[in-house]
Copies of this chain bind each other. A is one copy, B any other.
Amino acid sequence: MLTQPEIVERLRKWGVRVTPQRLAIAEAVLNSTDHPTVQQIHERVRDHFPSMTLATIYSTLGVLERSGLIQELPFEKMSRYEANMEPHVNLVCIQCENVMDADVGQDVVVRLKNRISSQAGFEVAWQRVDFYGWCPRCASAKRQEQTAPV
């Protein structure tokens, strides 16, 4: 989670202009942990910028990605945007469709990255590690239903 001055500095370093819209979009993504979609980001900045269109959001997300601040995560229907650039695991619930960062396994991802670099001769730039399944809440709901079906 970056502070506003840090965001400004990172953007200026890339020679792009820092506008209020860009700051709002950057904060909406960087202060999130739910890997928002473009639509969700739009909802979150609409109060402050009612006239902002999706084109501006797409454009800004491209700037943020090229600045190394965020990562695009393409899914079947649309992309989500990742604010956590450290090696980690994403948990994608196929029931409620929420996406969250796992709070375990970061060390294993780093070890995997080192193994790929040293043994596969592949120069790693970044990675995406997604586990799909049932989040704790949906998993227990599923077990309840299996025990006592309608």
Contact = CB atoms under 8 A, between A and B. Distances in A.
B125 A134 contact: yes
A116 B136 contact: no
Contact of A108 (B91, B111, B142): B111
A49 interface: no
- For the residues of A in contact with B, the DSSP-based class is mixed
* Chain A contact patch, size range: 35 or more
A123 B139 contact: yes
Interface of A: 72, 74-76, 79, 89, 91, 94, 102-105, 108-109, 111-113, 115-116, 119-136, 139, 142
Instruction: Count the copies.
Output: 2
Contacts of A89: 112, 116
A-B complex: 6 closest residue pairs judged by Cβ atoms: A125-B133, A121-B136, A123-B134, A124-B133, A74-B74, A123-B139
Nearest to A138: B123
